[in-house]
Structure 1
Amino acid sequence: MTASTFRALHHDRAAGDPLVLPGPWDAASARVFADAGFPALATPSAGIAASLGYEDGSTPAEEMFAAVARIVRAVSVPVSADIEGGYGLAPAELVERLLEAGAVGCNLEDSEGHATLKDPQRHADWLAEVRAEAGDALFINARVDTFLFGSGDPADAVARAGLYVAAGADCVYPLLAPTAAFPVLREGIAGPINMAAGTDKESVTELARLGATRITFGPGMQRYAISAIGELAAGLRAPN
């Protein structure tokens, strides 16, 4: 599958019909989601980190790209990869590693050290370099962390998003944006918007109503699965 196939899934969608992308954390979960009929998948970095025994943000680049490659090999649908802040790799190497893994897209966040926001213009310039190296071979989802580490002001998120779209991002992802801010984001941001849902149909339906173009779940599905396994384990250990 190519980036153009994946990119097309984001455009010309009917109102209230977002692209819903489950988040596989390994090959087995990827097959489950693909077999359920989802047209594409989006890996969560935190979910993969947990599956490999790391804290979120601590996965070595080699292991993250290897995990993405295993997921890509397991399914026949397009896979986009959350690669956090790019692991300090130069744009050319970053693009090379993504394409080697078979990913058709990536998430790139505008915070560093899981603590502070990057300068938006500097980040936009870096995104432009990634776009120049990738051409049309990668779909770039630019995460906007204003609501996570910044002021929480929707106007700031819109300003950052505008810079990233101008730099070549295909989609923007205002992580943890409250639903009250979504009308401002939808009006002020050109192009597709990614929003994160909980692992329930009602959450997906609400984001669709609010105008999300694309819906992902972060590590929610991996955590849901682990919770279910925990309940199973507790039941097996319970006395007769």
Structure 2
Amino acid sequence: MPRTIAEKRAAFRALHESGCFMLPNPWDTGSARYLESLGFKALATTSSGFAWSRGHADNHVSRDDVLAHLREIVAATDLPVNADFESGFGATPAEVAESVRLAVATGVAGLSIEDSTGDEAAPLFPIEVAVERMQAARRAIDETGGDTLLVGRAENFFAGKPDLDDAIARLKAYAEAGADCLYAPGIKTREQIEAVVRAVAPKPVNLLIGGGSDFTLDQVAALGVRRVSVGGGLARAAWGGFLRAAQGLVDGRFDGFKDAAAGNDLNGIFR
């Protein structure tokens, strides 16, 4: 029998209590179902992967489209789903709260709120504003029952402001504002990871590994990371194969299909 939304959320929270788990990022129904078939315990959406599937750049998809996507992914799998909810689709705390309420209603087990503005001249919200937005997200979740996990993201390393001290100060403030899990996408070194984990302990930390890395999951776990996501990594890998095969067709070649999945295999997965 499929799990209820409440059961998915409880299972997702339990995953954050100990150990370290992989949180892969599908970008559509098919990729979500396949990842579930591999035995993963939870999934997370990817704003970039979804945007590319719709022919848009990352962070250029409407809130309504993202909400529809969340509903689709939640319905596609019996696993808990964490929503990449970008910057909450609102500049003010009230706007963020309204967006969060709508996201919670899709059935997601968790959602992340970024502190990026989308403005190249001032890419990060001032920390006091970012904290107010996080507090608003927390209140919105609590008003709906409180069982949806809130992830606070410090976007320093993605926003062209790679200041670890500032990122840590932001993460600590977001933890105090009610974030259940903390996330600084773009940190890569052992020293950076250990510093973030230590700063927000005992709250869990998400680590992004979206490209090649010398770390294994066991090594990351030993650093105290609680979960590892891959962002748009899987979507980029799929696009890489497609781009190479398509360019081969332009050149009059068909060798780009040599590593393609067999149609019968795909039909068997989704039958």
Give TM-score scaled by structure 2 length.
Answer: 0.80
Instruction: Kindly indicate whether residue 122 of structure 2 is the aligned counterpart of residue 111 of structure 1.
Output: no
**Alpha-carbon shift at residue 182 of structure 1 (Å):** 1.8
Match of 1:102 among 107, 110, 132: 107
Q: Corresponding residue for 1:192?
A: 204
**Alpha-carbon shift at residue 204 of structure 1 (Å):** 4.0
Work out which structure has the larger RCO, using CA pairs closer than 8 Å and 6 or more positions apart in sequence.
1
Q: Corresponding residue for 2:69?
A: 67
Q: Corresponding residue for 1:177?
A: 187
1:199–1:224 Cα contact (<8 Å) kept: no
User: Greater shift after overlay, 141-150 or 100-109?
Assistant: 141-150
User: Greater shift after overlay, 110-119 or 192-201?
Assistant: 192-201
1:82–1:106 Cα contact (<8 Å) kept: yes
Aligned residues: 236
1:199–1:221 Cα contact (<8 Å) kept: no
Match of 1:125 among 113, 122, 132: 132
**Alpha-carbon shift at residue 145 of structure 1 (Å):** 1.3
Where does structure 1 lack aligned partners over 5 or more consecutive residues?
A: none
- State the AA in 2 paired with 1:25: W
- Residues 96, 151 of structure 1: alpha-carbon distance in 2 compared, 3 angstrom cutoff: closer
**Alpha-carbon shift at residue 232 of structure 1 (Å):** 4.0
- Distance in 2 (alpha carbons) for counterparts of 1:201 and 1:113: 28
- Residues 61, 187 of structure 1: alpha-carbon distance in 2 compared, 3 angstrom cutoff: same
- Distance in 2 (alpha carbons) for counterparts of 1:159 and 1:142: 12
- Residues 200, 131 of structure 1: alpha-carbon distance in 2 compared, 3 angstrom cutoff: same
Match of 1:222 among 202, 225, 235: 235
**Alpha-carbon shift at residue 76 of structure 1 (Å):** 0.5
Q: Corresponding residue for 2:253?
A: 238
SS in 2 for 1:101: coil
- Residues 120, 239 of structure 1: alpha-carbon distance in 2 compared, 3 angstrom cutoff: closer
**Alpha-carbon shift at residue 235 of structure 1 (Å):** 5.5
- State the AA in 1 paired with 2:186: L
**Alpha-carbon shift at residue 212 of structure 1 (Å):** 1.7
Instruction: Kindly indicate whether residue 33 of structure 2 is the aligned counterpart of residue 22 of structure 1.
Output: no
**Alpha-carbon shift at residue 31 of structure 1 (Å):** 0.2
- Distance in 2 (alpha carbons) for counterparts of 1:66 and 1:78: 17
SS in 1 for 2:59: coil
Instruction: Kindly indicate whether residue 220 of structure 2 is the aligned counterpart of residue 207 of structure 1.
Output: yes
1:117–1:150 Cα contact (<8 Å) kept: no
Give deviations 1:126-162, integer Å, cap 9, x for gaps. 2112111211232111111122235423221111111
- Residues 29, 199 of structure 1: alpha-carbon distance in 2 compared, 3 angstrom cutoff: farther
Give deviations 1:206-238, integer Å, cap 9, x for gaps. 433433211011111101011123344456651
Match of 1:9 among 4, 8, 15: 15
- State the AA in 1 paired with 2:241: A
SS in 2 for 1:7: helix
Root-mean-square deviation over aligned CA pairs: 2.1
**Alpha-carbon shift at residue 68 of structure 1 (Å):** 1.4
1:127–1:168 Cα contact (<8 Å) kept: yes
- State the AA in 2 paired with 1:63: D
Structure with max Cα Rg: 2
- Distance in 1 (alpha carbons) for counterparts of 2:254 and 2:166: 55
1:198–1:204 Cα contact (<8 Å) kept: no
Q: Corresponding residue for 1:168?
A: 178
Q: Corresponding residue for 1:140?
A: 150
